[in-house]
């Protein structure tokens, strides 16, 4: 990462790169814990605008990852009860937590327009990205 860029610019570039380079990544964004509140706040993203700029812990896939501290792969969003829809085009989702000093501080959220596209390769890539992001925030 170029240190002349602000953190927000760097996160925006990461979103753009993942969105452009991986065909099944149709929405890519970062959510972070909003201060000391038990909620997530949308940070940089690429893709369709979303109503879900604030997500309470426990709500939706993102809110569940905020409390479980574990990657959540959703092969088919229509099979999920606790899911917040951003776009009717979204068919699947993966959310990977970001840890800083052992604390779950946020996550990367990726939506796809196809059913069941995510493999271990995606998890490996996104774990790597989350580790790098942790180092710059």
Contact pattern for ligand SME over residues 82 through 111, marking x by CB under 6 A = -xx-x------x---------------x-x
Region 14-53 residues binding ligand SME, contact defined as CB under 6 A: 27, 29, 50, 52
Does 117 help bind ligand SME (rule: CB under 6 A)? no
Query: First CA to last CA across the chain, in angstroms?
Result: 12
Q: Which residues pair with 32 in a beta bridge?
A: 41, 106
Q: How far, in Å, CA of 11 to CA of 2, rounded?
A: 12
Q: Which of 11, 14, 28, 61: binder of ligand SME (CB under 6 A)?
A: 61
Judged by CB, which is closer to ligand SME: 12, or 50? 50
Burial class (CB in 10 A: 0-12, 13-18, 19+), 113: middle
Q: How far, in Å, CA of 65 to CA of 21, rounded?
A: 25
Judged by CB, which is closer to ligand SME: 63, or 106? 63
Angle at alpha carbon of residue 75, lines to 20 and 79, rounded to 5°: 135
Q: Which stretches of the chain bind ligand SME, using CB under 6 A?
A: 27, 29, 50, 52, 55, 60-63, 83-84, 86, 93, 109, 111
């Amino acid at each position: 990462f170029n240190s002349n860029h602000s953190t927000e610019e760097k996160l925006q570039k990461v979103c753009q790169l993942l969105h452009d380079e991986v065909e099944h990544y149709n929405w890519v964004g970062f959510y972070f814990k909003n201060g000391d509140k038990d909620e997530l706040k949308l940070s940089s993203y690429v893709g369709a605008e979303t109503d879900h700029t604030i997500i309470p812990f426990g709500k939706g896939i993102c809110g569940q990852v905020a409390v479980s501290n574990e990657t959540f792969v959703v092969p088919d969003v229509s099979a999920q009860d606790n899911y917040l829809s951003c776009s009717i085009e979204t068919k699947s989702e993966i959310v990977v937590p970001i840890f800083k000093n052992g604390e779950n501080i946020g996550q990367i959220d990726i939506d796809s327009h196809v059913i069941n596209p995510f493999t271990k390769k995606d998890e490996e890539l996104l774990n790597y990205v989350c580790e790098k992001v942790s180092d710059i925030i």
